Amino acid sequence: MVSAGGQNQFSKTEEFSIDLGNLLAWISGRLREGDSLRMLGCLLLLSGWIIVLAALVLLSSYGERVAFVAAGAAVEVLGLALLILRYREPKESNI
């Protein structure tokens, strides 16, 4: 991890940058393990639901609501597919 101030930084800043590096290493470790895609799947599910809620609040005509609810459902299907694939893959490699 290279700190933004270059080499003329105080030691306190260097300590901070090292800690941040550890955090990033931990996060990247999580990313490699495929947790990020599972989390993305869950976030897509949640996003689809929020689109559906937004349709209820912001729109009034039946046709517009149907379109938004269909879009939200499509986003949820994407998220579910991602979750299913991520949970399916390790099983294939383990078996």
Binding site for other proteins (CB under 8 A): 42-43, 45-50, 52, 56-58, 62, 65-66, 69, 72-73, 76, 79-80, 83-84, 87-88, 90-92, 94-95
Q: Which is nearer to other proteins, 37 or 80 (CB)?
A: 80
Nearer to other proteins, 7 or 92 (CB): 92
Closest approach of other proteins to the CB of residue 13, in Å? 33
Structure tokens, 78:
């994407």
Residue with smaller CB distance to other proteins, 1 or 54: 54
Contact 43, 91 (CB under 8 A): no
Least CB distance to other proteins at residue 33 (A): 13
CA distance linking residue 56 with residue 72, whole number of Å: 12
| CA R_g for the chain | 21
Question: Which lies closer to other proteins via its Cβ, residue 1 or residue 56?
Answer: 56
Burial, 48: exposed, middle or buried (Cβ in 10 Å; 0-12, 13-18, 19+)? buried
The length of the chain, given as a count of residues = 95
